[in-house]
Structure 1
Amino acid sequence: MLHLLADLLTIGIGIAISPLAIVAVILMATSGKGRTNGTAFVLGCYAFAVVFVGLCVLLGRSTGTEDTGSDANLTVDIVEIVLGVVLLVLAVLQWRNRNHTGTPKWMSAVDGLSIWQAFLAGVLISGPLSPKDLPLLIAAGGRVSQSRLPAQEIMIVILIFAFIGVLGVLIPWLISVISPSKVEARLSGVRDWLVANHAVIMMILFVILGAKLISSGIADLAY
């Protein structure tokens, strides 16, 4: 189990470094909604990761991905390589748009979200609307499905992996809970920096993670 978690660590950290998701939590925290909407947002991110990766694992295991050398196992490795190429293409597109510094329109609507809307925002930003996180979650699901661990250990791996993936939004949320009176002073600078440098951060992540998926997939195929 530890070997599988170590294999997933880079992917989990890549998911955790999600500037827009972190900015969303900071906006909720600095508007005084860190304890309610911030909590719902973090739970939305976590719940989506657990459910989505779990479904990917169930789908993979139903086709026999845990059998080394099987067609399904090889398909997972090929899909991983394709996802890595997709991330590299996104890196190029992100680089071309690096000078775009406009503030996303959704940021102005964060203050008015209800608790359920904040939960849904966490679900959407952590996967369906994230060009970075969705490929990584698919790759993680494929990796876990190839493991021969028993079901209970696989569930533990998924829960821990999802926790690693929400560390980026969990830290500002904790600050808003522990020290709500100092949230603005501590997080406003981070928020502004992330918004200003979002394109460059994402481009670097796309390159690193794309190379990681491609190399892992090729290594498995060669093995």
Structure 2
Amino acid sequence: MGPVIGDILPLALGIAISPIPIIAAILMLLSPKAKGTSVGFLLGWVLGIVVAVVVFTLLASVIPEQDPDAGKPISGVIKIVLGVALLFLAARQWRSRPKPGEAAALPKWMAAIDEMTTGRGFVLGFLLSAVNPKNLLMAVGAGVIIGTGGLNVGEAAIVILVFVLIAACSVAIPVIAYLVASKRMAAPLEALRGWLVQNNATVMAVLLLVIGVVVIGKGIGSF
């Protein structure tokens, strides 16, 4: 179980460090309906991660078992393809970063966050974690690693729990901190939001590049 947890950590961190969901959560915390929308967003975010990784774990578990000492070519090919896809996304993010002196543009849907309800916040959180291509690729990678890791049901559940806790922490921490001390968190959250908005593309490009290389390396090692 330990090696599997080690293999999924970069993918979980990739989801956790994704700036767009963090920016969305912060905007909700700075909105008039902060508590309701942010809690709904957090619940949707966590559920989306759980659904994605569980589904792909179950799909990967049907790959025929092989000798533990033998190579795993099917798993290796899947990891290499996922790694290449992550490198492609990294290149796109790098090209989309703002030029020096240029303000970064946010997705248009973020302008409507002030008017969001708890239900819409939940749906948005679910979509950003379970349907967003970058996060979905990382969930696929984690599912393949867990599903082909030779774990029993209990061990797989523990690994999935670890993955979800790490992947969800970047949204959970500011939401929980705001609920505990809302007045003191307003200024730090606004400063963090500004930095993430301006550096979103660069952060994601570097992150996807590193994770893509790691996943390709794991895929090559599976042969």
- TM-score, reference length from structure 1: 0.91
Deviation at 1:35, TM superposition (A): 2.8
User: Partners in 2 of 1:156 and 1:35 — Cα distance?
Assistant: 30
Equivalent residue runs for 1:96-111 within 5 Å: 96-99=95-98, 101-111=104-114
Deviation at 1:67, TM superposition (A): 5.8
Q: Supply the AA of the counterpart residue of 2:203.
A: I
Q: Supply the AA of the counterpart residue of 2:39.
A: T
Is 2:120 the counterpart of 1:112? no
Is 2:160 the counterpart of 1:161? no
What does residue 131 of structure 2 align with?
128
Deviation at 1:69, TM superposition (A): 7.8
Deviation at 1:187, TM superposition (A): 0.5
Pick closer, same or farther for the CA change 1:48–1:67 going to 2, 3 Å.
farther
User: Partners in 1 of 2:143 and 2:54 — Cα distance?
Assistant: 7
- TM-score, reference length from structure 2: 0.91
Deviates more, 1:180-189 or 1:99-108: 99-108
Deviates more, 1:4-13 or 1:34-43: 34-43
Pick closer, same or farther for the CA change 1:47–1:23 going to 2, 3 Å.
same
Deviation at 1:195, TM superposition (A): 0.5
Deviation at 1:39, TM superposition (A): 1.5
CA contact (8 A) 1:49 1:137 kept: yes
What does residue 36 of structure 1 align with?
36
Aligned partner of residue 166 in structure 1, secondary structure: helix
CA contact (8 A) 1:16 1:166 kept: yes
1:14-44 residue CA offsets vs partner (Å, 9 max, x unmatched): 1100101001110111114443221221111
Report % sequence identity.
36
Runs of 4+ in 1 over 6 A off after TM superposition: none
What does residue 26 of structure 1 align with?
26
Deviation at 1:93, TM superposition (A): 1.6
1:82-111 residue CA offsets vs partner (Å, 9 max, x unmatched): 111111112222222212722221111112
Equivalent residue runs for 1:1-223 within 5 Å: 1-65=1-65, 68=68, 73-99=72-98, 101-129=104-132, 131-221=133-223
User: Partners in 2 of 1:44 and 1:102 — Cα distance?
Assistant: 25
CA RMSD of aligned residues (A): 1.9
Number of aligned residue pairs: 219
User: Partners in 2 of 1:148 and 1:32 — Cα distance?
Assistant: 48
CA contact (8 A) 1:39 1:173 kept: yes
Pick closer, same or farther for the CA change 1:150–1:206 going to 2, 3 Å.
same
User: Partners in 1 of 2:69 and 2:113 — Cα distance?
Assistant: 48
